[in-house]
Amino acid sequence: MNTSQTYQTDLEVILEFLEEHCRQEMRGQWENANFHVNQQILGDDYGVLSHHVDSLQVLSSTKAQQATGPQVKESGFDSAELRESVMSIEEALNTPADEESPFGQHVSPEESAQSSPSSTPAGRGKKLRLFHFLFEMLEDPGMAHCLSWVPASVGVFRFSSTYKEHVAALWGQRKGNRRPMTYQKMSRALRNYTRSGEIIKVRKKLTYQFSGTTLSTLRSQQRMKNTNANRVIL
């Protein structure tokens, strides 16, 4: 009966571990003389790590709600502090690794030319879009239980019916929304992509599909990131 509470505790332990891990990594980074090189090398790892922190965070808070009811956030929610510190770590980690990394600008001049269909004026300073976020999730093996490719080759993906709300919560959190994001609202946003043709709805439940152009744009952007990371290492 208390399994969800136990689960929450476990997740909090894991969170603390990850948090400590982040601190150590960062300390190492700051102590290193050529830290900016490390920052570039570690960029991807940091991104992945922060994703896991993200998901664990939401998982633990959601489990807490399931365990004790919807009003938990107002009553003594012990991990509030933890969540705050995790968020600050997240910010610290996300900012350099995410979109506008310093080396992303000069290494890829063709990016703005080939990506950014029509809306992006210069291709930089762009906010994270929902489908970018979903693509990131899909590429993260740690999120496979929430969201996964059905046949990845054609860009079809499906939400897990039990964890779809976690993906939504993550999205809302990533955007820094005041109110919690829900699957219903997120799917509404997803449906808006039907108009622009970036994502289309598949007849199956909880299943959507990236359009060919969207998918190739996302994949080429991802390849760009990888080659940048490799280039720094080499």
Partner DNA sequence: CCCCGCGGGATACTGA
Partner DNA sequence: CTCAGTATCCCGCGGG
Binding residues vs DNA (CB under 7 A): 119-121, 125, 127, 129-131, 161, 164, 171-172, 175, 177-179, 181, 183-189, 191-192, 194, 196, 201, 205-207
* Distance in angstroms (rounded) separating the CA atoms of residues 62 and 157: 23
CB of 164 to DNA, least distance (A): 7
DSSP string, 185-202: HHHHHHHHHHHHTSEEE-
How far is the C-alpha of 73 from the C-alpha of 80, rounded, in Å? 8
Smallest distance from the beta carbon of 231 to DNA, in angstroms?
28
What distance in Å separates the CA atoms of residue 158 and residue 147, rounded to the nearest whole number? Answer: 6
- What are the C-alpha distances in Å from 190 to residues 134, 135, 136, 173, 207? 10, 13, 15, 17, 11
Beta carbon of residue 160, minimum distance to DNA (angstroms, whole number): 9
Tell me the three state secondary structure of residue 206.
coil
DSSP 148: E
Question: Which residue is listed with tokens 């570690």?
Answer: 42
Q: Residue 192 Cβ, how far from DNA at the closest point, in Å? A: 5
Q: Which is nearer to DNA, 34 or 205 (CB)?
A: 205
- Shortest distance in whole angstroms from residue 197 CB to DNA: 11
Nearer to DNA, 29 or 114 (CB): 114
- CA 188 to the chain's CA centroid: 19
CB of 58 to DNA, least distance (A): 15
Q: Smaller CB distance to DNA: residue 177 or 230?
A: 177
**Which of 161, 143, 159, 126 lies closest to 51 in space, CA to CA?**
143
Handedness of CA 31, 35, 40, 41 (dihedral sign): negative
Would residue 29 be called left, alpha or beta, if left means φ above 0 and alpha means ψ between -120 and 50 degrees?
Answer: alpha
Give the residue with the Cβ less far from DNA, 57 or 173: 173
Residue 21 CB, shortest distance to DNA, in Å, is 29
Nearer to DNA, 27 or 188 (CB): 188
> Which residue lies nearer to DNA by CB, 130 or 146?
130
For DNA, which is the closer residue by CB, 107 or 206? 206
| Longest CA–CA separation in the chain, Å | 57
Amino acid at 144: A
